[in-house]
């Protein structure tokens, strides 16, 4: 990458290098101090792009010399350099919390990363989660390395034509204009990977993105040596058909793991952000085979201990599936040559029924069968995921399906406004997001009413000015007449209650629930004493006709004469627009159909800025909501796509706005402050912001997942995989002998205040140490199930493999609640994730 010294008289080398180093480190995307640096170089270009690398390459040498001669600019540049150097060299939260972690690298794979508008390789929620967690890992010094793809076009850009229809545009991502660098070998050669595909060896270029202390590596197939169809593999995100998607996921998973190996990295932990990269688990096992000489089964048993799968999908149909024939073309040779297994064995890893030759290959199933832990992204989504994946664990109770949850959070320094940053810094200190967030609740609770109200008003005013500029520019681009441009420049009011609604337009998100009764909505918006205004944005997938219709409905509503001054739809929703919206709106509205919002993160972003949420009790809001922090619609139950329930919830939404939200905002004291509103702001900021921050998420992953996964991997890998070998032998014994197990009679008697259960068990050919006999009862009052391990007694008379097992439990529940069962047992195995066998006593009649 060239530095900004290639025209005119050269700039001082030290300043040039410092500016280049800062521009190519995306820590500026969450450092407000750096904004002032780039604004001084080119305020207009900075406002439009928020891309320091573009600003630096575009600014004239004359302007550079002038600005960099300013003592204040030099002081700020020096300060930013010193902060960067200090952050890179000092230990952080992770080193202090886990000084002997045994973790050198955590590989984090994701199909997309949302780091900044300057690097448009994202679509929405999945990339938001990945980008925010990578930034938080940098803040906390957690050794996370990201892996993704460099898309030539990324996700589509949206234009709204004069008829209100969405048009999809695909501008080219020029690598020279992106804050990325080629990955170089020590000899300066560009690091290139080779991935065999049918009839051709695919060349893959590699790039790196610096994100503070963390790095993101990007794979790129747009190499001149590749045929056009292979160069196009990394053309666009979520475009094309299943074959393009399969090729992308092969590059991401297999190519991504090979890149890490080529860099000399040996990750103890591999974290899959969705199942797109699940082929990385196969490649990791194959690499271990090469290193240890073990077979595939042992290699998978060893390496899966260090793998974590996070699912974001709330419906079973959302997982990527590939037909067997397509899989055979791309992976048969890989299975046989790289993994030394049959292609059928590879297919079995991605099927519910390995014997069904017509069943497609499911990437989520592969991710589960290759991982040590699986989690959803909210408490409710964990429950939904257990229901979805229960098919892989037949006869296991849904609540024991091995899926936990880690509720998402957002990177607050990315999403807070400059005004909010000042308030938080005064209350909690400059380094508040670099540690464990101790005392944050108390510190924020002490912020004065006037400071919070002033912060909210400032944020709204800045948003209104932004909307006016952007809407005027977009209207002019559509050829709007002069009177419309004049109106656009005056749209909205900086003193009016402002609602925000921005997200992907899809039917399950119900973006038009507010439009259920247009007349009633108009009455709310145009109330003379208590007016309300609404800012909307969002894209519909180019193939989602219904989603595009809903966008057009909103645009037509916004063009009504009576609504024009109170409603605006902004085209081309992206990260930069999202920053402005979440920093300025008073209330964020979200209306998904429960339980199809796995988590949702947009509403979390308003928390740090004092915005409030009015949302369906779904995803994260089902955990976060209480009457003191916001408003909720829904009854906490599932109603499918019942139109009558949509009507009920629309009525609830209107009623909340009319009777609670609007009156509370406009109920002011003698100083013009709504004390009730400010109290709600304070409660939301203090209680929810720390909990729903990416800081908490990354610390939770580190404490609960990464450390234990690394330890389990090390334990299984030592002595050339001795424990992995033992686990494979144990699994083979279960497969061979499980069907020989059976139950005999079962009896119970009361002993004081306890039940004494006895059950006969015939082990057949099974080693008794390989299984456990348990007494099971469903949980009550939202508690977990009761599971009591039964003790083996004497051998049954005349039976070689028959034994009596007993258990004592409290007699507070009837005996009919309890059922004996047999489950696998191994001290190092995760049950049922690694052994889904189970045998229940068929309706025992306790005597």
Rounded to two decimals, what is the model's pTM?
0.95
Helix (H, G, I), strand (E, B) or coil at 103: coil
Give the phi and the psi of residue 634 in degrees, each rounded to 5.
100, 165
288 neighbors 302 (Cβ within 8 angstroms):
yes
For every residue of 168-225, which 3-state class applies, written as one string? EECCCCCHHHCCCEECECCCCCECEEEEEECCEEEEEEEEEEEECCEEEEEEECCCCC
Residue showing tokens 């297994």: 341
Hey, how many other C-beta atoms are within 10 angstroms of the C-beta on 772? 18
206 neighbors 259 (Cβ within 8 angstroms):
yes
C-alpha–C-alpha distance, residues 39 and 48, integer Å:
11
Q: Which H or E run contains 442?
A: helix 440-445
Looking at residue 15, its pLDDT comes to: 87
C-alpha–C-alpha distance, residues 222 and 228, integer Å:
8
Closest to 428 (Cα-Cα) out of 413, 411, 406, 407 = 413
Closest to 532 (Cα-Cα) out of 453, 471, 614, 450 = 614
| Interaxial angle between packed helices 449-477 and 575-584, expressed in degrees from 0 to 180 and rounded to the nearest 10 | 140
Residue showing tokens 């090729």: 247
Looking at residue 89, its pLDDT comes to: 86
Looking at residue 6, its pLDDT comes to: 42
Residue 693 DSSP one-character state: B
Helix then strand count (H, E) for the chain reads 32, 28
Which residues of the chain are modeled with pLDDT < 50?
A: 2, 5-9
DSSP characters over 443-460 = HHHTS-HHHHHHHHHHHH
C-alpha–C-alpha distance, residues 352 and 388, integer Å:
12
C-alpha–C-alpha distance, residues 449 and 451, integer Å:
6
The DSSP bridge pattern shows strands 532-537 and 373-376 to be unpaired
Which runs of consecutive H residues, i.e. helices, occur in 620-763? Answer: 621-624, 643-656, 662-666, 675-691, 694-701, 707-737
Looking at residue 5, its pLDDT comes to: 43
Q: Which residues contact 229 (CB under 8 A, 6 or more apart)?
A: none
The rounded radius of gyration (Å) of the Cα atoms in the chain is 29
Please give the distance of CA 155 from its chain centroid, rounded to a whole number.
17
Please give the distance of CA 292 from its chain centroid, rounded to a whole number.
34
Query: Ramachandran region of residue 554, left (φ > 0), alpha (ψ -120 to 50) or beta?
Result: alpha
Closest to 587 (Cα-Cα) out of 520, 669, 700, 496 = 496
For residue 487, CA distances in Å to 164, 466, 677, 711, 764 come to: 18, 15, 31, 63, 83
């Amino acid at each position: 990458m060239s530095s900004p010294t290639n025209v005119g008289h050269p700039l001082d080398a030290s300043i040039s290098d410092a500016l280049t180093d800062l521009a190519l480190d995306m820590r500026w995307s969450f450092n407000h101090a750096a904004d002032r640096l780039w604004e001084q170089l080119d305020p207009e270009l900075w406002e439009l792009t928020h891309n320091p690398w573009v600003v630096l390459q575009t600014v004239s040498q004359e302007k550079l010399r002038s600005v960099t001669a300013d003592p204040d600019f030099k002081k700020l540049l020096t300060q930013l350099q010193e902060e960067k150097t200090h952050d890179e060299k000092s230990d952080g939260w992770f080193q202090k919390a886990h000084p002997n972690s045994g973790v050198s690298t955590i590989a984090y794979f994701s199909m997309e990363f949302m780091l900044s508008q300057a690097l448009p390789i994202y679509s929405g929620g999945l990339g938001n989660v990945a980008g925010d967690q990578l930034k938080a890992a940098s803040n906390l010094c957690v050794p996370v390395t990201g892996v993704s793809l460099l898309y030539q076009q990324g996700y589509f850009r949206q234009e709204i034509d004069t008829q209100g229809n969405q048009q999809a545009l695909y501008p080219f991502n020029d690598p020279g204009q992106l804050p990325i660098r080629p990955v170089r070998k020590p000899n300066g050669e560009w690091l290139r990977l080779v991935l065999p595909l049918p009839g051709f060896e695919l060349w893959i270029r590699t790039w790196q993105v610096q994100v503070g202390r963390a790095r993101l590596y990007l794979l790129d197939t747009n190499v001149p040596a590749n045929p056009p169809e292979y160069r196009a593999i990394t053309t666009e995100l979520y475009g094309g058909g299943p074959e393009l998607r399969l090729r992308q996921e092969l590059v991401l998973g297999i190519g991504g793991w090979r890149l890490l190996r080529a860099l000399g990295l040996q990750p103890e932990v591999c974290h899959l952000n969705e199942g797109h990269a699940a082929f990385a688990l196969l490649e990791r096992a194959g690499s271990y085979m090469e290193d240890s000489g073990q077979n595939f089964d042992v290699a998978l048993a060893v390496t899966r201990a260090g793998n974590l799968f996070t699912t974001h999908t709330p419906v079973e149909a959302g997982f990527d599936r590939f037909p067997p024939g397509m899989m055979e073309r791309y992976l048969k040779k890989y299975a046989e040559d790289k993994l030394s297994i049959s292609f059928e064995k590879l297919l079995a890893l991605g099927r519910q029924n390995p014997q069904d030759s017509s069943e497609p290959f499911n990437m989520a199933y592969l991710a589960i069968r290759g991982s040590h832990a699986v989690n959803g992204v909210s408490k409710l989504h964990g429950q939904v995921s257990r229901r979805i994946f229960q098919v892989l664990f037949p006869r296991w109770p849904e609540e024991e399906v091995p899926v936990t949850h880690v509720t998402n959070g957002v990177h607050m320094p990315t999403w807070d406004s400059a005004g909010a940053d000042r308030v938080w810094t005064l209350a909690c200190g400059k380094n508040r997001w670099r540690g464990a967030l101790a005392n944050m609740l108390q510190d924020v609770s002490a912020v004065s009413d006037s400071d919070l109200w002033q912060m909210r008003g400032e944020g709204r005013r800045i948003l209104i000015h932004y909307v006016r500029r952007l809407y005027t520019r977009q209207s002019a681009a559509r050829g709007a007449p002069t009177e419309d441009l004049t109106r656009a420049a005056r749209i909205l009011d900086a003193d009016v209650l402002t609602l925000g609604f921005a997200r992907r337009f899809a039917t399950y998100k119900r973006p038009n629930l507010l439009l259920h009764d247009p007349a009633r909505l108009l009455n709310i918006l145009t109330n003379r004493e208590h007016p309300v205004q609404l800012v909307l944005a969002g894209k519909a997938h180019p193939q989602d006709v219904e989603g595009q219709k809903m966008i057009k409905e909103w645009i037509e509503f916004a063009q009504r004469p009576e609504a024009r001054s109170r409603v605006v739809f902004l085209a081309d929703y992206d990260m930069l627009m999202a920053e402005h919206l979440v920093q300025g709106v008073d209330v964020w509205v979200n209306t998904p159909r429960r339980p199809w919002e796995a988590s949702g993160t947009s509403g979390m972003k308003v928390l740090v800025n004092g915005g409030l949420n009015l949302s369906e009790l779904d995803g994260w809001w089902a955990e976060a909501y209480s009457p003191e922090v916001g408003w909720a619609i829904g009854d906490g139950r599932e109603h499918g796509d019942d139109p009558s329930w949509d009507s009920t919830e629309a009525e609830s939404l209107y009623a909340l706005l009319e009777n609670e939200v609007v009156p509370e905002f406009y109920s002011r004291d003698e100083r013009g402050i709504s004390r009730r509103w400010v109290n709600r702001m304070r409660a939301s900021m203090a209680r929810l912001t720390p909990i729903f921050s990416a800081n908490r998420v990354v610390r939770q992953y580190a404490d609960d997942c990464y450390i234990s996964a690394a330890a389990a991997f090390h334990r299984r890998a030592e002595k050339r995989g001795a424990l992995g070998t033992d686990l494979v032998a144990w699994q083979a014994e279960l497969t061979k002998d499980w069907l020989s197990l059976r139950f005999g009679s079962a009896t119970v008697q009361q002993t004081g205040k306890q039940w004494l259960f006895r059950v006969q068990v015939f082990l057949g050919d099974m080693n008794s140490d390989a299984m456990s006999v348990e007494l099971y009862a469903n949980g009550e009052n939202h508690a977990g199930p009761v599971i009591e391990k039964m003790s083996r007694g004497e051998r049954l008379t005349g039976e070689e493999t028959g034994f009596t097992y007993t258990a004592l439990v409290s007699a507070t529940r009837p005996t009919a609640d309890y059922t004996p069962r047999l489950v696998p047992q191994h001290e190092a195995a995760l049950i049922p994730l690694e052994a889904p066998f189970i045998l229940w006593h068929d309706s025992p009649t306790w005597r």
